[in-house]
Amino acid sequence: MARARNQVFVAWMEREGWTAPALAKKLDDVVQDLTRRSGAGRGLSEITVHKWRSGETSWPQEKYRIALEEVSGLAVAALGFAPPDRRKKKPMPVEDEDPVHRRSFLALTAGSAGGVVLGPSVTAGVGGGDVLRLRQQLDALMALDDSRGGHDTLERTALAGAQEAVALQGKPATQRTRQRLFSLAADYTATAAWSCVDARRSARAQPLHERALHLAGLARDPVATMRVWNSVAILAHQRGAHAEALAAGQAARATAITRRDPLFASLAHARIAIAHAHLGDHQSALRSLGHAEKALAKADPARPRPSWIAFYGRAELHAITSIVHNRLGNSPAAEAASHHALTTLPQAFVRNRAFATARLALAQLHQGDLDQATATTARIFPLLGGAALPGRLRTLLGDFHRDLITAAPNAPVAREWADRHRTHWRRT
């Protein structure tokens, strides 16, 4: 039976620009650095790396598993490796390893793994474990954003994470670890900036965007850079600077990651579509939407990506399509797109579901269906479980209220809506 290729590991190597010879040399260097001595092993061959890629070897030696985590900042399981199932008659091969060498290596690296310093020449440094811990904490913040949206606690916690990532630069670390720390600092700072954008605190968001771009540049991280430009585009729309939003979307599209991963390219095209719609360029908006759809169709959903981009997929593109059609005055198409978004949106994205519901209500209102539109908005408030609405959502509901009064200034339904939802809507 043919063995399954480790596509996750292959994708990681391609994304990070590693060749088999270069990665083999780097892992050997890390092993020597961790043990503080040269000749810590017999040397890693590029042939072994090819065996990892092909799936011929499913579980590298202990020292190289630790080195892989140091270099990648990921757990080996996140790179597609798994220990063999001992219950199978013919388990996939595991690299041979001298148990004496293994125990020696684990003892020598205990300082990195558990904070124990062995010997006066060893200085406590920063390694893959620190990077992984910070990344896991960032993932938890992304989950909080998905459920509650931007708020003070999210912003403060993200800024604390960025501060810690920068502070760790003061400890001994490999160059790749330093780059990953700068990348994490950029992501944490971008998270804080996004929290301000979602809360509509633009004055606080702008300097954080600038800081995040600076850190992403130090990290040479096109993914973090693209993330910041995506957020800058949304902030620009809040300020009414739609030409600036277009430029930010184009800057996002110009980052290297959009050439390597069509999912990021799709998001950039979608942001450009919104900007064109705000600027009244009907054809360009629809053309950019088409580019976003084609790129998304090419994206591999199983490809490892950072947690911040998890929101983007078919459902979010439907939601953006609703925004574009609403701006272009095509309310029936906007309503249909909102229904598609709500049907396909994963349950974890509570805040985005609230937004899609509000967009659906606007599309219904703009078609003159006042009763249905007001009934739709009533579904929004329970979604966040009593938490304060993010500033962007409050503003969107303010737009709904304004359009409702404009459409039917003397209708009882308009007064009833305001009386019923004013407390939830204006809560900060």
pTM of the model: 0.70
Q: Indicate the fold that domain 314-428 takes in CATH.
A: 1.25.40
User: To 5 degrees, how large is the angle CA 38–CA 40–CA 46?
Assistant: 100
257 against 70, higher pLDDT: 257
Rounded-to-integer distance, Cα 230 and Cα 212, Å:
12
Q: What is the mean pLDDT of the chain?
A: 83
Residue 257 has pLDDT above 90, yes or no: yes
Residue 272 has pLDDT above 60, yes or no: yes
The answer to whether the CB of 205 falls within 8 A of the CB of 199 is no
Mean pLDDT, range 390-412, rounded to an integer = 87
The answer to whether the CB of 190 falls within 8 A of the CB of 227 is yes
The full DSSP string for 149-177 is -S-HHHHHHHHHHHHHHHHGGGS---HHH
Residue 31's nearest CA partner among 112, 148, 93, 87 is 112
Model confidence band, residue 33 (pLDDT cutoffs 50, 70, 90): low
For 191, list phi and psi in degrees, rounded to 5: -65, -45
Residue 38 has pLDDT above 80, yes or no: no
- pLDDT, one tens digit per residue, over 134-193 is 888 888 888 888 767 778 888 999 999 999 999 998 888 888 888 899 999 999 999 999
pLDDT of residue 291: 97
Model confidence band, residue 108 (pLDDT cutoffs 50, 70, 90): very low
Residue 90 has pLDDT above 90, yes or no: no
Model confidence band, residue 104 (pLDDT cutoffs 50, 70, 90): very low
Rounded-to-integer distance, Cα 78 and Cα 136, Å:
12
Residue 101 has pLDDT above 70, yes or no: no
- pLDDT, one tens digit per residue, over 370-379 is 999 999 998 8
The answer to whether the CB of 166 falls within 8 A of the CB of 185 is yes
Model confidence band, residue 365 (pLDDT cutoffs 50, 70, 90): very high
CB atoms within 10 A of CB 381: 19
The answer to whether the Cα torsion of 381, 385, 390, 391 is positive or negative is: positive
Residue 309 has pLDDT above 50, yes or no: yes
Q: Angle 350-365/314-327 helices, nearest 10 degrees?
A: 30
Percentage of the chain modeled with pLDDT above 70 = 85
Rounded-to-integer distance, Cα 4 and Cα 174, Å:
32
pLDDT of residue 78: 77
Model confidence band, residue 313 (pLDDT cutoffs 50, 70, 90): very high
Amino acid at 275: A
334 against 113, higher pLDDT: 334
pLDDT of residue 118: 29
Residue 34 has pLDDT above 70, yes or no: no
pLDDT of residue 85: 55
Mean pLDDT, range 20-28, rounded to an integer = 88
Amino acid at 321: T
- The token pair at 133 is 């811990």
The answer to whether the CB of 261 falls within 8 A of the CB of 299 is yes
Rounded-to-integer distance, Cα 82 and Cα 74, Å:
14
Rounded-to-integer distance, Cα 424 and Cα 385, Å:
11
pLDDT of residue 174: 83
Query: In degrees to the nearest 10, what's the CA dihedral of 357, 147, 378, 396?
Result: -60
Q: Provide CB contacts within 8 A for 238, sequence distance 6+.
A: 197, 200, 202, 392
CATH 1.25.40.10 in the chain, residues? 314-428
**Lowest-pLDDT range of 36-40, 198-202, 321-325:** 36-40
User: To 5 degrees, how large is the angle CA 183–CA 187–CA 192?
Assistant: 145
Mean pLDDT, range 390-410, rounded to an integer = 87
Residue 344 has pLDDT above 90, yes or no: yes
For tokens 């931007």, name the residue: 150
Model confidence band, residue 423 (pLDDT cutoffs 50, 70, 90): low
Rounded-to-integer distance, Cα 166 and Cα 178, Å:
9
For tokens 């690299």, name the residue: 95
**Lowest-pLDDT range of 139-143, 279-283, 342-346:** 139-143
